Amino acid sequence: GAVVSQHPSWVICKSGTSVKIECRSLDFQATTMFWYRQFPKQSLMLMATSNEGSKATYEQGVEKDKFLINHASLTLSTLTVTSAHPEDSSFYICSAKGMTGGRSPLHFGNGTRLTVT
Amino acid sequence: AQKITQTQPGMFVQEKEAVTLDCTYDTSDPSYGLFWYKQPSSGEMIFLIYQGSYDQQNATEGRYSLNFQKARKSANLVISASQLGDSAMYFCAMRESSGNNRLAFGKGNQVVVIP
């Protein structure tokens, strides 16, 4: 089946530093990747849609300069949390859709638990 | 406006029994897809089952089945013969054809299977 690898699975960083999270589709080409954020015991909130070779589309209320997204190839998208603050601590999870039809589900990475101290 | 509604409180279910998780949705798009995902405590999102808006039959995948009532805009998940490993959060999600493949998630249902 389709596999999405997300790295790192957890990270602790100091306030003011930047953190990069990678999302790779291992056995399929992902034209579109999505980045979600999840607070404890809450739902997944879509942050942005990442299309290969073009600028990401951010959801309302998500700061594009804060959460930099790069989708340089059909198998890799990255999310960089810039100048992280404690309120950025959250579970970030990426997903990818292959080139197959509309019935295909999004395949998710295992998520990254970010803690900003 | 909330597109996916899951309002049940956390549920305890006896092992080997069936459990139904409610999901209602709101869309004006005639073409859409409904998904259920399972999220165990480790955090990964596991795809369970899919129902297309034009599908004539309710979807089934092993112990998972979907009770799709289009007129009522509901897509309830039924898990039969619950197992201890079914303890997790369950999310209902919708993808609209006009939505650029984006998935909108409900708030989830917590299920705990007890022996």
List chain A pLDDT tens, one digit each, 117 residues: 678 999 999 999 999 999 999 999 998 888 889 999 999 888 999 999 988 888 899 999 999 999 999 988 889 999 999 999 999 999 999 998 766 666 677 889 999 999 999
Size of interface A-B (CB pairs under 8 A): 56
Residue B45: closest CA among chain A residues belongs to which residue?
Answer: A108
Q: What is the pLDDT, as a whole number, of residue A1? A: 64
Residue B100 banded pLDDT, cuts 50, 70, 90: confident
Residues, chain A, total?
A: 117
Mean pLDDT, chain A, rounded, equals: 91
Over range B50-69, report the average pLDDT: 96
Q: What is the DSSP letter of A110?
A: -
A37, A39, A43, A100: best to mutate for the B interface, most B CBs within 10 A: A43
User: How many angstroms separate the CA atoms of B103 and A115, rounded?
Assistant: 26
Locus of tokens 């309830």? B76
Token pair recorded at residue A37: 């954020």
Residues of A in Cβ contact (< 8 Å) with B33: 102-103
Token pair recorded at residue A105: 């589900």
Is B64 an interface residue toward A (CB < 8 Å)? no
User: Nearest-CA neighbor of B37 among B14, B66, B11, B9?
Assistant: B66
Is B91 an interface residue toward A (CB < 8 Å)? yes
Token pair recorded at residue B4: 């996916």
Coil, strand or helix at B86: helix
Do the Cβ atoms of A106 and B97 come within 8 Å? no
- To the nearest whole Å, the CA of B112 is away from the closest chain A CA by 14
Q: What is the pLDDT, as a whole number, of residue A110? A: 94
Q: What backbone phi and psi angles, to 5 degrees, belong to A72?
A: -80, -20
Q: What is the pLDDT, as a whole number, of residue A27? A: 85
Residues within 8 A of B (CB atoms), A 56-85 only: 57
CA atoms within 13 A on the CB side of B83: 5
Identify residue B22 by its one-letter amino acid code: D
Is A100 an interface residue toward B (CB < 8 Å)? no
